[in-house]
Structure 1
């Protein structure tokens, strides 16, 4: 077999291995907490990093400016995003890079310094922890067949939020789109939850879906998504949630968005929707 064919096969297997091992790699860094909120009088906080792998790991720490999209994903800010309220210029942090032995813990300390007459609003930036490649294992024999090494810098980010002034939350259920989808011969049922948002503060909580056949039947929980965040920059948010132990049938659905962490005890909305079998659409 030619050298080129061997090279191409090696690259294909390497790429496949990288994809299959991705979940294991992501478990190598434990970050606590996964969200930091500076309220009016808060001035400092810290993030704990723990290397849960069996190898020494180095992480570079830096800011990333990004906004939330309708589907909840994050997209980088562009030059004309002048209306976005960034927090990074008001926060100092250290260290900027950490090297962790297996099982070792390190704290990233953050300090806030607000400028005078800071305008009311919620300011946010994302703190990134980017794994640095280990290039220590270099080829000792330069005469060996040339090989290409692929380095992937895995990055994890958490939102850092500064709140200023009298802010409010206002998220409301707009509509529910019921969906069915066949995957590998199995029919899956779920819904796209459309939410209107006029909040000046972000929200965080669990989205839960309950079902009952009629008013006399017992209600059961058929779906839940935790850590659902909605940020002020999105006026409309679409959240897709899968159902368990649920069939296509007539009945009543109750959709609840319940706050967690700093919003624990807050119900953002709790709505009931009458559904029929014809409401379920195949995708």
Structure 2
């Protein structure tokens, strides 16, 4: 019975987390300063039915080859930290239900900055409210403090990165669904950002079928080789011999840029 209560409690925490995460709308979810841009705007909207207060700050993060980030310690933070060059206003906001707030970012560049990509993550921390989420059935009181962050970048004298592909394979996950695994190798002093699409053509087929897609995929400068796993869209399994075509095309500032397109012959 104790284990059952624990499972129910974890389910409630998961549901509340998803709800609260959806209650704050952030636009855009990524900010890029070029060499001529001095200011940027981020809009926050309280999409919930409760008043919310958020404290704004900065996080320094390191991108991982398998996806996601880890927070950097003070000793690990290097010269590519952007937060020291950004003035942000306001630093705390209070939003009524449905209210929108503008956050202004002003870039203050320094003389003699080295070429390359600078990055920090703008951090939004939800402060506790008087109303807490309580489950009387299991006696758990949840007073959750959630946070979100978005990357903010500045590029100085960078070039468009180059990308290569290798080690493409189709494997089955623990649930029996197919997963496409591949490695992406980035060259250059800037990150990529775009859409990854994968197409399949069986040995006797004439047309390509799109089987997987991933939007807003980035490879940051600290990652030279990224390990990518893509879920297959269709229930139809890719069987026997065939070909996989992988296309990585740019989005936002890289729109219409094709980073890489490559076809791989696969055998059973």
Q: Which residue of 2 aligns with 1:126?
A: 121
Question: C-alpha displacement at 1:90, in angstroms?
Answer: 0.4
- Tell me, yes or no, if the aligned pair for 1:222 and 1:246 is still in contact at 8 Å: no
Q: Which residue of 2 aligns with 1:200?
A: 189
Q: Which residue of 1 aligns with 2:168?
A: 176
SS at match of 2:177: strand
How far apart, in 1, do the equivalents of 2:5 and 2:129 lie? 20
The question of 1:228 aligning with 2:217 is answered yes
Q: Which residue of 2 aligns with 1:262?
A: 253
Q: Which residue of 1 aligns with 2:135?
A: none
The root-mean-square deviation of aligned C-alpha atoms, in Å, is 2.4
Question: C-alpha displacement at 1:267, in angstroms?
Answer: 0.6
TM-score, length basis structure 2: 0.90
SS at match of 2:106: strand
Cα shift readout 1:224-268 (whole Å, capped 9, x = no counterpart): 011101101101101110112333221010001111111110011
Question: C-alpha displacement at 1:120, in angstroms?
Answer: 0.6
Query: After the TM superposition, which segments of 4 or more aligned residues of structure 1 sit over 6 Å from their partners?
Result: 8-12
Q: Which residue of 1 aligns with 2:263?
A: 272
How far apart, in 1, do the equivalents of 2:174 and 2:108 lie? 52
How far apart, in 1, do the equivalents of 2:210 and 2:227 lie? 20
Distance 1:134 1:249, change over 3 A: same
**Which residue among 82, 89, 100 is the counterpart of 2:84?**
89
SS at match of 1:255: strand
TM-score, length basis structure 1: 0.85
Distance 1:82 1:134, change over 3 A: closer
How far apart, in 1, do the equivalents of 2:194 and 2:68 lie? 16
Question: C-alpha displacement at 1:123, in angstroms?
Answer: 0.1
Aligned residues: 262
How far apart, in 2, do the equivalents of 1:19 and 1:202 lie? 32
SS at match of 2:253: helix
Give the unaligned 5+ runs of structure 1: 138-146, 278-283
| Greater Rg by CA | 1
The question of 1:55 aligning with 2:50 is answered yes
Q: Which residue of 2 aligns with 1:188?
A: 177
How far apart, in 1, do the equivalents of 2:220 and 2:162 lie? 11
Q: Which residue of 2 aligns with 1:247?
A: 238
